[in-house]
Amino acid sequence: MEISGRRRERSKASFRTEESVDANQNVLSNGQHSHSSSATPSSSTLNLAYGSTTPPALSTSNSATNLQSVNGAAAPPPRPYASPSVTSRQSVSGMSGLGSPNSTLPTSQYAPRILSISDNSWVYQKVLLIYGIISDPATQPLEGNLTVSRLDDGFPPTLWPVSESHFKALVYLTPGPNRLRFDFTSPKLANGNTSNPIHSSYLTVHMVPPLNAPPLQLVILLGKDSPGTFDAVPARIEREGNGFETAIRKFRMAAYLWQAFTAEQMARNRLGRRVFRMDEEWVTGTSNYRDRELGTMRSEAKIHVIRSSKTVAELRDPNIAQQNPNAKDRDGLLGIAAEAVRDYLKPLPGQKHYVTVMLMDAHWDSGANLITGHAALQGNRGELHISIFGSQALQSYPTSIEEVVPAFSDCTPTDTNYVANDLNESGSSWEAANIGIGAQMHEVGHVFGCPHQENGVMLRDYVTLNRTFTTREPYSTRTKSKGGLVLPKDECTWHRLDCLRFRAHPCFALPADPPRHNDDSIQVWPVENGNAMVTAASGIAFIEIFVTGDDLCHHWQEFGDGNGGGPIQKQFLLTEQDLRSRLPDDKKKSKLMLSFHSWGGGSHDVSDFGILTSKVSRVKLPNGQMGFRSSKLGFSQMEDSQPEEVILTSVARTKLLTQVRVYHGFALDGIEFIYDDGSTQIFGKKGGQPGGSEFNLDTRRGEYISGFYVRSGVWVDGIAIMTSLGRKSAFFGNATGGSGHTLIPPRGYSIAGVTGSCGRWVDGFGIILAH
């Protein structure tokens, strides 16, 4: 089974967690919370999360210590016809109803102030997360409720608690302008509980669905004989059912929460309100109660329901249960799910699919103390990028927007006679919702190429996912803390490096983006004076810096994105001194391992930067010049693999290279260079297709090889030749194998030869360059 990424990117059963601070808290029947008094946040506390602090320039190095400074509010993408402004807050007269605000009326000091987004902003997802305050929380902390309404009544009003003058809300958007009204009511204010509130503000948000990006596809997988039910306690089954229709509503709502969370995190990292999209279908709306009652049709996220060729008993086999330490194949469920999804989607060659699967038949076996039919895994099967997760916490998920705060506030103890206390971190219903929704979002992060990180969702901070959507945290059985007020600075996050990966991922493309560069590769070339040149046709995005003993990335360097972060750099001179200056003193002499990332989404790893730029990478050329060996593509780990190298005779200008013959089958076997006097040089072997494939150079016009396009993974799948006249040969080998890399020397350098290794076929390939 093929699993992508480094070993540190694998999903793990457990990670370290941080304890919360104790504070007294009880849950009220309406989903709000009472708690012991705590320190009231000041305006400086608000500024930490949404204030005016300027983020560090993208061209500087970031680390865990300075990461928090980028959590400011993101300005909306510039639009010539939508100028951002402060949210309009008006004191509305008793006859105004839900009509347009009268600008001549005085502003109420208790009108809601939206801090997380500006008026007339543009967003790209269906459910938007809003954060704001009432008056000044430092001087007058108020309790009450916030009502969010659409002026066109296209979605029913929703009610959100206001705690110590702070509120968070989710707003359901439709394509086009969404004109919203926010009303604050409180028993402590005059006229605070009237049927027509006077403390109101207005916000217009423009939503554009990003249909030019590949979707994240949501799948529920069932056994071929499955009854289509998930684990739930009897009271839940009686109240809402546990069939797959309920499962669809809950899974869909969880995906909307992933979107809302991710878009807000991207905005706080000043990378725009980018977010992945999902396939949609025209169905009875499930995001609010009124749609269900009236049968209102809406375009909602599509949940693909797929039946596996396996029975429920086969899916629940303890030998493939990930949490069973004695299982013979703990990754077996991933292969089963991938096969079922591939048979269902039938992907075309070169067509990538990004899929997350909920395993409906996951089951808590209380006798064996084991969740069967469940695994938290991600892997790649060709063009299929897939993750899986079980349904053991599904009963705790909200089915609609109205249920989000109650779901994340429900302290009902987990009854292990019926449902799992997953990893002993789901002792109550709200904590189970965190683990289920958050852990599957963690696996989605892997689908989008994120490894584990030092903090955030890709560590295991999703155990506090509830804080993103609520202003009060209930008692936690996990930390034995009594909860209290939670502000944006207390919330779970995507790590900055995750957000940078999302910025370059095709699933996060926006309608206004320029056409995506068809070359996403990034390369590193040793050059003079122990330095290296980094090149990327789409631009250099960031470099991750690892030292000996690092399993996670703690230090990195960012580059401009072409917007507010500075110009895109397509070529950059990298010095070891500059890299080491970004490390703490006790790490400055350690071996450097680097991972380079382009704005096109490509990456390239260098296992030892010191060796790459050392004398080992230098070679004396026949003309007396010094040549430099590039870093290799392929792992050079095949059985009987041996180093190979060819310095082109034409470098000495005594012979003329006239033809290249490539030997290939399902991989690259060898390359033969043929000169005008009939002499040849061979790199690799003459295997594969008999006689190979020829590519002739136009020597009358001085044509020479200017680069190679290579597809590689563990070995080299195939190659195409590029020339100085702008020509490109046919692709020789497996055109869909591995990933694509363009090897074109930096400006001022040319190809002097090729280097690498060969076993049964070529399993390592680089070029030798010189001035």
Task: Provide the CATH number for the domain around residue 688.
Answer: 2.100.10.30
Domain end, chosen from 207, 229, 260, is at: 207
State how far the Cα of 256 lies from the Cα of 412, in Å rounded to an integer: 24
Rounded average pLDDT over 22-29? 36
- The verdict on residue 636 lying in a domain is yes
State how far the Cα of 228 lies from the Cα of 317, in Å rounded to an integer: 18
Say whether pLDDT at 564 is over 90.
no
Whether residue 117 contacts residue 205, with contact meaning beta carbons closer than 8 Å, is answered with yes
At 127 the pLDDT is 98
Rounded average pLDDT over 427-451? 97
Whether residue 468 contacts residue 265, with contact meaning beta carbons closer than 8 Å, is answered with no
- The verdict on residue 682 lying in a domain is yes
Say whether pLDDT at 32 is over 60.
no
- The verdict on residue 154 lying in a domain is yes
State how far the Cα of 573 lies from the Cα of 542, in Å rounded to an integer: 14
| Helix 244-268 vs helix 429-447: crossing angle, to nearest 10 | 70
State how far the Cα of 492 lies from the Cα of 455, in Å rounded to an integer: 9
- The verdict on residue 753 lying in a domain is yes
At 153 the pLDDT is 94
At 658 the pLDDT is 95
State how far the Cα of 162 lies from the Cα of 155, in Å rounded to an integer: 21
In 3D, which of 205, 274, 267 has the Cα closest to residue 74? 267
Q: Which two tokens stand for residue 662?
A: 């490539």
DSSP label at 45?
H
Whether residue 533 contacts residue 571, with contact meaning beta carbons closer than 8 Å, is answered with yes
Lowest-confidence pick of 193-207, 286-300, 754-768: 193-207
Task: Provide the CATH number for the domain around residue 104.
Answer: 2.60.40.10
> What are 106-165's pLDDT values in tens digits?
578 999 999 999 999 999 999 999 999 999 999 999 999 999 999 999 999 999 999 999
State how far the Cα of 197 lies from the Cα of 618, in Å rounded to an integer: 76
Quickly state the pLDDT bin for 450 (edges 50, 70, 90).
Answer: very high
365, 371, 372, 375: CA torsion to nearest 10: 180
- The verdict on residue 689 lying in a domain is yes
In 3D, which of 526, 716, 748 has the Cα closest to residue 619? 526
Q: Which two tokens stand for residue 660?
A: 């290249």
Rounded average pLDDT over 743-751? 93
Beta strand 750-758 pairing with 303-307: unpaired
Quickly state the pLDDT bin for 563 (edges 50, 70, 90).
Answer: confident
**Domain span holding position 64:** 43-207
In 3D, which of 456, 488, 454 has the Cα closest to residue 53? 488
**Greater pLDDT, 280 or 87:** 280
State how far the Cα of 394 lies from the Cα of 363, in Å rounded to an integer: 11
Beta strand 762-770 pairing with 626-629: antiparallel
In 3D, which of 618, 619, 676 has the Cα closest to residue 650? 676
> What are 214-243's pLDDT values in tens digits?
999 999 999 999 999 999 999 999 999 999
At 161 the pLDDT is 97
Q: Which two tokens stand for residue 332?
A: 């077996």
**What whole-number percentage of the chain has pLDDT above 70?**
85
At 2 the pLDDT is 39
- Residue bearing tokens 């989607």: 345
Q: Which residues lie below 8 Å from residue 298, measured CB to CB, with a gap of 6+? A: 282, 283, 284, 285, 287, 291
Helix boundaries (H) for 535-629: 576-580, 609-612
> What are 338-394's pLDDT values in tens digits?
999 999 999 988 889 999 999 999 999 999 999 999 999 999 988 899 999 999 999
Whether residue 338 contacts residue 355, with contact meaning beta carbons closer than 8 Å, is answered with no
Whether residue 485 contacts residue 161, with contact meaning beta carbons closer than 8 Å, is answered with no
At 723 the pLDDT is 96
Say whether pLDDT at 444 is over 70.
yes
In 3D, which of 655, 664, 638 has the Cα closest to residue 720? 664
443: annotated active-site residue: yes
At 278 the pLDDT is 96
**Strand stretches in 399-462, DSSP E:** none
State how far the Cα of 520 lies from the Cα of 517, in Å rounded to an integer: 7
State how far the Cα of 56 lies from the Cα of 62, in Å rounded to an integer: 8
At 195 the pLDDT is 59
- The verdict on residue 364 lying in a domain is no
At 54 the pLDDT is 35
Say whether pLDDT at 49 is over 70.
no
Quickly state the pLDDT bin for 62 (edges 50, 70, 90).
Answer: very low
CA distances from 7 to 107, 171, 529, 639, 720 (A): 57, 39, 34, 22, 31
At 500 the pLDDT is 96
At 21 the pLDDT is 34
At 569 the pLDDT is 94
Say whether pLDDT at 102 is over 90.
no
Rounded average pLDDT over 98-102? 45
Domain end, chosen from 162, 186, 207, is at: 207
Hey, is 395 helix, strand or coil?
Answer: helix
- Determine which one of 264, 443, 544, 672 is catalytic: 443
At 105 the pLDDT is 52
In 3D, which of 391, 376, 383 has the Cα closest to residue 305? 391
At 196 the pLDDT is 60
At 39 the pLDDT is 39
- What Rg, from alpha-carbon coordinates, does the chain have? 29
CA distances from 724 to 254, 276, 682, 702, 708 (A): 52, 39, 22, 8, 11
Say whether pLDDT at 202 is over 90.
yes
Q: Which two tokens stand for residue 454?
A: 């030092």
Rounded average pLDDT over 469-482? 96
State how far the Cα of 271 lies from the Cα of 88, in Å rounded to an integer: 25
> What are 476-522's pLDDT values in tens digits?
999 999 989 999 999 999 999 999 999 999 999 998 888 888 889 99
Say whether pLDDT at 68 is over 70.
no
Rounded average pLDDT over 630-646? 93
Q: Characterise 514 by phi-psi region: left (phi > 0), alpha (psi -120 to 50), beta (else).
A: beta
Residue-wise DSSP of 123-164: E-SSEEEEEEEES-TTT----EEEEEEETT-SS--EEEEEET
At 519 the pLDDT is 87
Total domains, the chain? 2
- The verdict on residue 681 lying in a domain is yes
CA distances from 592 to 66, 534, 558, 609, 762 (A): 22, 16, 17, 6, 27
Domain end, chosen from 207, 226, 259, is at: 207
Whether residue 666 contacts residue 734, with contact meaning beta carbons closer than 8 Å, is answered with yes
| pTM to 2 decimal places | 0.84
- The verdict on residue 71 lying in a domain is yes
CA distances from 5 to 217, 378, 738 (A): 21, 10, 13
In 3D, which of 445, 482, 448, 475 has the Cα closest to residue 460? 445
Say whether pLDDT at 672 is over 80.
yes
